[in-house]
Structure 1
């Protein structure tokens, strides 16, 4: 009987080359599928948050929490992280978008080097809370997250809010006209933000925001030109990055401001990284 010979070296090299070619073809597709899965998982989490916010308002006579209004100390209890702890059970998995889980600081306060970098859009705020270098009074445990609240969706005391806008501009309750155009809770670099329709766009994805623009806290390319969020009517959807300038962040937001098509923005006005995305 003739004994079968093994593969020759050339045949083995051909097989390896074919496998490598198939991997090169399939890997981008697999990466796209994984990103799509994380986008779906993010929206699923946000729908859960919509339920939490609805329950909170129902349990508090139709109103939201006071929120942070520029005062130190006990007002940490009024931030959503603390105020809603009983609803989400202090689960830091629920506070993180699946695309953004690595915090700015370790629990002992050591910077991770992510904040304000090109990787900033995929990083999480925190760790903040008891036992960390970034204390938050009233928080039950160190927390990280990559979602945040529209700071105008709070129920502050009279006078000025932290954003410098009068408290009459706030959406204190979900029971308002046009609730489907008011962003409530969405992906962000910070657990709170006060975007204005005049805010310039960040120069790069993940740019740090201090002294520049609150819009940089939410204008993050986490989902291929979109950021996920829920609105005051508790609906959840993808939001185009340039669409952020058309939303009704507070009662006096101009939805036809200078960074919208209606306001006269030109494609060349946008930083390079934002130009390929849909205009609004």
Structure 2
């Protein structure tokens, strides 16, 4: 038995795999919670940006808020809503060029 190399037994390998699987299973809920927290922070930041854009618009227009308008691009008479005017204040793409208007269902909305 002196010439035989010492190797891991099948039981030892199974125990190591079980420990690794248990650690991975314990860390998944924490990762999910962190992802939800990051998405909430992302949404809060976007809301903050829209609030700042509204304030900047009001400062530039005698404390008036942007008017409500129609999201229909062919309706030029009322195509001056806040969702049209505020992206220009924030240097964002125009409302009609925003990616969520052309992305397939389930695609992430960057303005959520």
Scaled by the length of structure 2, the TM-score of the pair is 0.72
Report the CA distance shift for 1:145/1:70 in structure 2 as closer, same or farther (over 3 A).
closer
Deviation string for 1:134-156 (max 9, x for gaps)?
xxxxxxxxxx743xxxxxxxxxx
Q: Residues of 1 paired with 2:71 and 2:24: CA distance? A: 53
Report the CA distance shift for 1:50/1:3 in structure 2 as closer, same or farther (over 3 A).
farther
Question: What residue is the counterpart of 2:64 in the other structure?
Answer: 63
**Shift of residue 80, structure 1, vs aligned partner:** 2.1
**Any stretches of 5+ residues in structure 2 without a counterpart?**
none
**Shift of residue 104, structure 1, vs aligned partner:** 6.4
Q: What is the number of residues matched between the two proteins?
A: 106
Rg comparison, structure with higher value: 2
**Shift of residue 4, structure 1, vs aligned partner:** 5.7
**Any stretches of 5+ residues in structure 1 without a counterpart?**
97-101, 115-121, 125-143, 147-280
Q: Cα RMSD over matched residues? A: 3.2
Deviation string for 1:32-58 (max 9, x for gaps)?
012112212321232222211111011
Q: Residues of 2 paired with 1:32 and 1:70: CA distance? A: 36
The structure with more helix, counted as a fraction of residues: 2
Question: What residue is the counterpart of 1:43 in the other structure?
Answer: 44
Q: Residues of 2 paired with 1:91 and 1:6: CA distance? A: 62
Scaled by the length of structure 1, the TM-score of the pair is 0.32
